[in-house]
Protein backbone atom coordinates (compact mmCIF):
# COMPACT_ATOMS: atom_id res chain seq x y z
CA UNK A 1 0.00 0.00 0.00
CA UNK A 2 1.43 3.32 -1.07
CA UNK A 3 1.28 5.99 1.59
CA UNK A 4 -0.13 8.90 -0.40
CA UNK A 5 -1.02 10.91 2.64
CA UNK A 6 2.28 10.29 4.43
CA UNK A 7 4.24 11.76 1.53
CA UNK A 8 2.11 14.85 1.47
CA UNK A 9 4.93 17.28 2.24
CA UNK A 10 6.76 16.17 -0.91
CA UNK A 11 3.64 16.65 -3.00
CA UNK A 12 3.09 20.06 -1.50
CA UNK A 13 6.71 20.96 -2.28
CA UNK A 14 6.41 19.89 -5.93
CA UNK A 15 3.17 21.86 -6.31
CA UNK A 16 4.65 24.89 -4.60
CA UNK A 17 7.56 24.90 -7.06
CA UNK A 18 5.23 24.61 -10.08
CA UNK A 19 2.86 27.26 -8.78
CA UNK A 20 5.62 29.70 -7.85
CA UNK A 21 7.29 29.24 -11.25
CA UNK A 22 3.95 29.91 -12.93
CA UNK A 23 3.20 32.97 -10.81
CA UNK A 24 6.68 34.43 -11.39
CA UNK A 25 6.28 33.98 -15.15
CA UNK A 26 2.81 35.56 -14.97
CA UNK A 27 4.09 38.48 -12.92
CA UNK A 28 7.09 39.10 -15.17
CA UNK A 29 5.79 38.24 -18.63
CA UNK A 30 2.03 37.96 -18.19
CA UNK A 31 0.10 36.19 -20.94
CA UNK A 32 0.48 36.75 -24.65
CA UNK A 33 -3.03 37.82 -25.58
CA UNK A 34 -4.36 36.75 -28.96
CA UNK A 35 -6.48 38.95 -31.18
CA UNK A 36 -9.73 37.79 -29.56
CA UNK A 37 -8.70 39.91 -26.58
CA UNK A 38 -6.26 42.44 -28.00
CA UNK A 39 -7.78 43.04 -31.49
CA UNK A 40 -5.86 42.79 -34.73
CA UNK A 41 -5.74 40.65 -37.84
CA UNK A 42 -4.53 37.08 -38.30
CA UNK A 43 -4.08 35.71 -41.80
CA UNK A 44 -3.30 32.17 -42.91
CA UNK A 45 -1.91 31.91 -46.42
CA UNK A 46 -1.19 28.90 -48.59
CA UNK A 47 0.88 29.49 -51.70
CA UNK A 48 0.94 27.55 -54.93
CA UNK A 49 4.74 27.47 -55.03
CA UNK A 50 7.09 27.08 -52.09
CA UNK A 51 7.84 30.39 -50.44
CA UNK A 52 10.79 31.17 -48.19
CA UNK A 53 10.03 32.79 -44.84
CA UNK A 54 12.65 35.51 -45.44
CA UNK A 55 11.15 36.26 -48.86
CA UNK A 56 7.68 36.61 -47.37
CA UNK A 57 8.98 38.85 -44.60
CA UNK A 58 10.72 41.06 -47.14
CA UNK A 59 7.61 41.36 -49.32
CA UNK A 60 5.41 42.18 -46.33
CA UNK A 61 7.85 44.84 -45.21
CA UNK A 62 7.80 46.24 -48.75
CA UNK A 63 4.00 46.48 -48.54
CA UNK A 64 4.31 48.43 -45.30
CA UNK A 65 3.77 45.58 -42.86
CA UNK A 66 7.26 45.43 -41.38
CA UNK A 67 5.83 44.84 -37.90
CA UNK A 68 4.04 41.65 -38.96
CA UNK A 69 4.75 38.45 -37.04
CA UNK A 70 5.10 35.50 -39.40
CA UNK A 71 5.00 31.88 -38.35
CA UNK A 72 5.45 29.02 -40.80
CA UNK A 73 2.93 26.21 -40.24
CA UNK A 74 2.54 22.68 -41.58
CA UNK A 75 1.93 22.17 -45.29
CA UNK A 76 3.73 25.32 -46.44
CA UNK A 77 1.17 27.58 -44.79
CA UNK A 78 2.06 30.82 -43.10
CA UNK A 79 0.35 32.50 -40.18
CA UNK A 80 0.68 36.26 -40.27
CA UNK A 81 -0.28 38.61 -37.46
CA UNK A 82 -0.92 42.29 -38.09
CA UNK A 83 -2.65 45.21 -36.43
CA UNK A 84 -6.29 45.41 -37.55
CA UNK A 85 -6.58 45.99 -41.31
CA UNK A 86 -9.61 46.74 -43.44
CA UNK A 87 -11.04 44.52 -46.17
CA UNK A 88 -9.52 46.72 -48.88
CA UNK A 89 -6.11 46.62 -47.24
CA UNK A 90 -6.41 42.85 -47.02
CA UNK A 91 -7.11 42.57 -50.74
CA UNK A 92 -4.19 44.86 -51.56
CA UNK A 93 -1.94 42.80 -49.30
CA UNK A 94 -2.88 39.55 -51.03
CA UNK A 95 -2.51 41.05 -54.50
CA UNK A 96 0.82 42.61 -53.49
CA UNK A 97 2.16 39.30 -52.19
CA UNK A 98 1.04 37.40 -55.29
CA UNK A 99 2.80 39.91 -57.51
CA UNK A 100 5.91 40.18 -55.33
CA UNK A 101 6.38 36.44 -54.78
CA UNK A 102 5.34 35.53 -58.33
CA UNK A 103 2.97 32.80 -57.15
CA UNK A 104 -0.73 32.43 -56.48
CA UNK A 105 -2.38 32.22 -53.11
CA UNK A 106 -4.27 28.93 -53.24
CA UNK A 107 -6.15 29.29 -49.98
CA UNK A 108 -6.43 31.92 -47.33
CA UNK A 109 -8.11 32.44 -44.01
CA UNK A 110 -8.62 35.72 -42.27
CA UNK A 111 -9.57 36.61 -38.74
CA UNK A 112 -9.84 40.22 -37.84
CA UNK A 113 -11.16 41.68 -34.61
CA UNK A 114 -11.69 45.34 -33.84
CA UNK A 115 -11.04 46.80 -30.38
CA UNK A 116 -14.77 47.20 -29.68
CA UNK A 117 -15.35 43.44 -30.00
CA UNK A 118 -12.14 42.57 -28.15
CA UNK A 119 -13.19 44.73 -25.18
CA UNK A 120 -16.53 42.92 -25.00
CA UNK A 121 -14.81 39.56 -25.15
CA UNK A 122 -12.51 40.43 -22.24
CA UNK A 123 -15.42 41.63 -20.15
CA UNK A 124 -17.63 38.63 -20.85
CA UNK A 125 -14.78 36.21 -20.25
CA UNK A 126 -14.20 37.67 -16.80
CA UNK A 127 -17.93 37.34 -16.05
CA UNK A 128 -17.99 33.76 -17.35
CA UNK A 129 -15.03 32.67 -15.23
CA UNK A 130 -16.57 34.25 -12.12
CA UNK A 131 -20.00 32.68 -12.73
CA UNK A 132 -18.47 29.25 -13.40
CA UNK A 133 -16.35 29.44 -10.25
CA UNK A 134 -19.29 30.46 -8.06
CA UNK A 135 -21.51 27.81 -9.61
CA UNK A 136 -18.97 25.06 -9.02
CA UNK A 137 -18.21 26.27 -5.49
CA UNK A 138 -21.92 26.20 -4.64
CA UNK A 139 -22.28 22.80 -6.20
CA UNK A 140 -19.34 21.34 -4.30
CA UNK A 141 -20.64 22.67 -0.98
CA UNK A 142 -24.01 21.13 -1.80
CA UNK A 143 -22.52 17.80 -2.92
CA UNK A 144 -20.71 17.48 0.40
CA UNK A 145 -23.60 18.71 2.53
CA UNK A 146 -23.82 15.38 4.39
CA UNK A 147 -20.18 15.47 5.40
CA UNK A 148 -19.31 16.39 8.97
CA UNK A 149 -17.79 19.72 7.86
CA UNK A 150 -19.02 20.38 4.31
CA UNK A 151 -17.27 23.73 4.02
CA UNK A 152 -13.88 22.10 4.58
CA UNK A 153 -14.45 19.59 1.80
CA UNK A 154 -15.63 22.32 -0.50
CA UNK A 155 -12.70 24.61 0.24
CA UNK A 156 -10.14 21.81 -0.16
CA UNK A 157 -11.66 20.89 -3.53
CA UNK A 158 -11.55 24.52 -4.63
CA UNK A 159 -7.92 24.85 -3.49
CA UNK A 160 -6.98 21.80 -5.54
CA UNK A 161 -8.92 23.30 -8.45
CA UNK A 162 -7.08 26.62 -8.16
CA UNK A 163 -3.85 24.65 -8.08
CA UNK A 164 -4.69 23.13 -11.47
CA UNK A 165 -5.79 26.44 -12.94
CA UNK A 166 -2.67 28.31 -11.83
CA UNK A 167 -0.47 25.60 -13.32
CA UNK A 168 -2.36 25.67 -16.64
CA UNK A 169 -2.22 29.46 -16.85
CA UNK A 170 1.42 29.42 -15.71
CA UNK A 171 2.35 26.95 -18.45
CA UNK A 172 0.73 29.20 -21.05
CA UNK A 173 2.55 32.19 -19.63
CA UNK A 174 5.89 30.36 -19.90
CA UNK A 175 5.05 29.11 -23.40
CA UNK A 176 4.04 32.67 -24.27
CA UNK A 177 7.56 34.01 -24.07
CA UNK A 178 9.34 30.74 -24.78
CA UNK A 179 7.31 29.65 -27.83
CA UNK A 180 5.11 32.71 -28.56
CA UNK A 181 1.98 30.78 -27.56
CA UNK A 182 -1.01 33.07 -27.54
CA UNK A 183 -4.12 32.78 -25.44
CA UNK A 184 -7.38 33.12 -27.35
CA UNK A 185 -11.06 32.42 -26.79
CA UNK A 186 -10.43 28.70 -27.20
CA UNK A 187 -7.82 28.80 -24.43
CA UNK A 188 -10.52 30.20 -22.13
CA UNK A 189 -12.76 27.39 -23.34
CA UNK A 190 -10.06 24.90 -22.40
CA UNK A 191 -9.57 26.49 -18.98
CA UNK A 192 -13.29 26.38 -18.17
CA UNK A 193 -13.48 22.77 -19.37
CA UNK A 194 -10.50 21.99 -17.12
CA UNK A 195 -12.45 23.42 -14.18
CA UNK A 196 -15.26 20.99 -14.97
CA UNK A 197 -13.06 17.96 -15.52
CA UNK A 198 -10.67 18.66 -12.66
CA UNK A 199 -13.47 18.90 -10.11
CA UNK A 200 -14.70 15.63 -11.55
CA UNK A 201 -11.56 13.81 -10.35
CA UNK A 202 -11.57 15.48 -6.95
CA UNK A 203 -15.22 14.59 -6.43
CA UNK A 204 -14.51 10.93 -7.18
CA UNK A 205 -11.69 10.80 -4.60
CA UNK A 206 -13.72 12.66 -1.97
CA UNK A 207 -16.65 10.37 -2.69
CA UNK A 208 -14.43 7.42 -1.77
CA UNK A 209 -13.18 9.06 1.41
CA UNK A 210 -16.76 9.88 2.34
CA UNK A 211 -17.79 6.28 1.78
CA UNK A 212 -14.87 5.00 3.89
CA UNK A 213 -15.86 7.39 6.67
CA UNK A 214 -19.39 5.97 6.64
CA UNK A 215 -18.04 2.43 6.69
CA UNK A 216 -15.82 3.31 9.63
CA UNK A 217 -12.62 1.99 8.03
CA UNK A 218 -10.49 3.52 10.77
CA UNK A 219 -10.78 6.06 13.53
CA UNK A 220 -7.71 7.82 12.13
CA UNK A 221 -8.78 10.21 9.38
CA UNK A 222 -5.34 9.95 7.78
CA UNK A 223 -5.86 6.21 7.24
CA UNK A 224 -9.40 6.76 6.00
CA UNK A 225 -8.23 9.35 3.50
CA UNK A 226 -5.30 7.26 2.32
CA UNK A 227 -7.62 4.28 1.75
CA UNK A 228 -9.93 6.49 -0.28
CA UNK A 229 -7.08 7.81 -2.37
CA UNK A 230 -5.55 4.35 -2.87
CA UNK A 231 -8.87 2.97 -4.02
CA UNK A 232 -9.21 5.79 -6.53
CA UNK A 233 -5.74 5.48 -8.06
CA UNK A 234 -6.70 2.82 -10.59
CA UNK A 235 -9.83 4.60 -11.61
CA UNK A 236 -8.29 8.07 -11.74
CA UNK A 237 -5.30 6.98 -13.78
CA UNK A 238 -7.35 4.86 -16.13
CA UNK A 239 -10.08 7.34 -16.92
CA UNK A 240 -7.66 10.18 -17.29
CA UNK A 241 -5.39 8.05 -19.45
CA UNK A 242 -8.33 7.26 -21.71
CA UNK A 243 -9.10 10.96 -22.03
CA UNK A 244 -5.42 11.78 -22.49
CA UNK A 245 -5.10 9.26 -25.34
CA UNK A 246 -7.64 11.13 -27.41
CA UNK A 247 -6.32 14.52 -26.39
CA UNK A 248 -2.74 13.68 -27.31
CA UNK A 249 -3.98 12.32 -30.64
CA UNK A 250 -5.91 15.55 -31.21
CA UNK A 251 -2.92 17.65 -30.22
CA UNK A 252 -0.57 15.86 -32.60
CA UNK A 253 -3.00 15.75 -35.53
CA UNK A 254 -5.60 18.39 -34.86
CA UNK A 255 -3.95 21.36 -36.55
CA UNK A 256 -3.33 24.87 -35.36
CA UNK A 257 -6.91 26.10 -34.94
CA UNK A 258 -7.67 24.22 -31.74
CA UNK A 259 -4.11 23.93 -30.43
CA UNK A 260 -4.67 26.20 -27.40
CA UNK A 261 -7.88 24.39 -26.46
CA UNK A 262 -6.25 20.97 -26.62
CA UNK A 263 -3.07 22.06 -24.85
CA UNK A 264 -5.05 23.63 -22.00
CA UNK A 265 -6.99 20.37 -21.65
CA UNK A 266 -3.81 18.31 -21.82
CA UNK A 267 -2.04 20.24 -19.08
CA UNK A 268 -5.23 20.63 -17.03
CA UNK A 269 -6.20 16.97 -17.07
CA UNK A 270 -2.64 15.89 -16.24
CA UNK A 271 -2.42 18.22 -13.25
CA UNK A 272 -5.97 17.20 -12.40
CA UNK A 273 -4.90 13.58 -11.93
CA UNK A 274 -2.03 14.73 -9.75
CA UNK A 275 -4.00 17.18 -7.62
CA UNK A 276 -6.89 14.78 -7.05
CA UNK A 277 -4.55 12.04 -5.81
CA UNK A 278 -1.75 14.04 -4.20
CA UNK A 279 -3.21 17.36 -3.09
CA UNK A 280 -6.96 17.47 -2.43
CA UNK A 281 -7.30 14.63 0.12
CA UNK A 282 -4.01 15.57 1.76
CA UNK A 283 -5.22 19.12 2.32
CA UNK A 284 -8.31 17.67 3.99
CA UNK A 285 -6.13 15.58 6.32
CA UNK A 286 -3.96 18.56 7.21
CA UNK A 287 -7.02 20.60 8.04
CA UNK A 288 -8.71 17.80 9.94
CA UNK A 289 -5.61 17.23 12.07
CA UNK A 290 -4.67 20.87 12.36
CA UNK A 291 -1.12 20.06 11.19
CA UNK A 292 -0.62 23.19 9.18
CA UNK A 293 3.12 22.87 9.62
CA UNK A 294 2.96 19.81 7.36
CA UNK A 295 2.49 22.19 4.46
CA UNK A 296 6.15 23.05 4.89
CA UNK A 297 8.36 20.32 3.47
CA UNK A 298 11.05 20.56 6.16
CA UNK A 299 8.65 20.32 9.11
CA UNK A 300 8.40 16.52 8.99
CA UNK A 301 12.14 16.04 9.13
CA UNK A 302 12.70 18.30 12.10
CA UNK A 303 9.72 16.89 13.96
Partner 1 sequence: MKKNSKGLLIFILILFGFSLWVVWPNRDIGGRKDFVLGLDLKGGSQLIYSANLSGKDPSLTDAQALASVKGTIERRVNAYGVTEPTVQTMQNEQGSFILVQLPGVKDIDEALKLIGQVAELDFREQVLNATGNTTWVIAEAAGSNGTDEELTGKYLKPNASVVLSQSTNQPEVAFEFNAEGALLFKQITTRNLNKPLGIFLDNELISAPTVQAVIEAKGVITGVSLQQAKTLAIQLNSGALEVPLTVVQRRDIGATLGADSLNKSLLAGIIGFVLIILFMIIYYRVSGLVACLALVVYTVLTLAVFKLIPVVLTLPGIAGFIVSVGMGVDGNVLVCERLKEELRSGSTLQRAVEQSFTQSWSAIWDSNVTVFIACVVLYWLGKTFGNFMVVGFATTLFIGVALSMFTQVVVTRAFLRTVASSGLAKSSRAYGVLEA
The DSSP bridge partners found for residue 78 are: 45, 72
Please give the Cα distance from 49 to 65 (Å, whole number): 22
155 touches partner 1 (CB under 8 A): no
110 touches partner 1 (CB under 8 A): yes
196 touches partner 1 (CB under 8 A): yes
SS3 36: helix
List the beta strands (DSSP E) in the chain.
40-47, 69-73, 77-82, 105-113
Candidate residues 25, 38, 112, 275; the one interacting with partner 1 per rule CB under 8 A: 112
250 touches partner 1 (CB under 8 A): yes
Tell me which residues in 162-191 interact with partner 1 (CB under 8 A).
185-186, 188-189
The residue (of 21 and 250) whose beta carbon lies closer to partner 1 is 250
Please give the Cα distance from 265 to 254 (Å, whole number): 13
**CA nearest to 201, candidates 250, 230, 237:** 237
Candidate residues 231, 270, 288, 295; the one interacting with partner 1 per rule CB under 8 A: 231
Candidate residues 15, 38, 121, 212; the one interacting with partner 1 per rule CB under 8 A: 121
21 touches partner 1 (CB under 8 A): no
The residue (of 45 and 294) whose beta carbon lies closer to partner 1 is 45
Please give the Cα distance from 141 to 246 (Å, whole number): 32
Please give the Cα distance from 77 to 63 (Å, whole number): 19
151 touches partner 1 (CB under 8 A): no
Tell me which residues in 198-227 interact with partner 1 (CB under 8 A).
199-201, 203-204, 207-208, 211
Q: Which stretch binds partner 1 (CB under 8 A): 48-56, 106-114, 162-170, 280-288?
A: 106-114
The residue (of 156 and 261) whose beta carbon lies closer to partner 1 is 261
- C-beta pairs of 216-221 under 8 Å, 24+ apart in sequence: 221/284, 221/285, 221/288, 221/289
Q: Tell me phi and psi for residue 233, to 5 degrees.
A: -55, -50
Candidate residues 25, 125, 212, 275; the one interacting with partner 1 per rule CB under 8 A: 125
Candidate residues 246, 289, 293, 298; the one interacting with partner 1 per rule CB under 8 A: 246
Closest contact distance (angstroms) between CB of 141 and partner 1 is 12
Closest contact distance (angstroms) between CB of 203 and partner 1 is 5
2 touches partner 1 (CB under 8 A): no
DSSP letter assigned to residue 296? S
Q: Are 268 and 251 in contact (CB under 8 A)?
A: no
Closest contact distance (angstroms) between CB of 47 and partner 1 is 12
The residue (of 157 and 294) whose beta carbon lies closer to partner 1 is 157
Structural element, H or E, at residue 77: strand 77-82
Amino acid sequence: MIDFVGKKHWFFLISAILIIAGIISLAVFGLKWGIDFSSGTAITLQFEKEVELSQLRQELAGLGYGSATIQPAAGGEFLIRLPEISSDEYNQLKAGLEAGLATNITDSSLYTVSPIIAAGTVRNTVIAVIIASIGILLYISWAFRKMPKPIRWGICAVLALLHDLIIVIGVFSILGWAASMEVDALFITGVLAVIGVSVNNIVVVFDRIRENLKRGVSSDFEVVANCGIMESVGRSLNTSLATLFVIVALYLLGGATIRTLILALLVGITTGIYSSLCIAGQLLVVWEKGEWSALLPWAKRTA
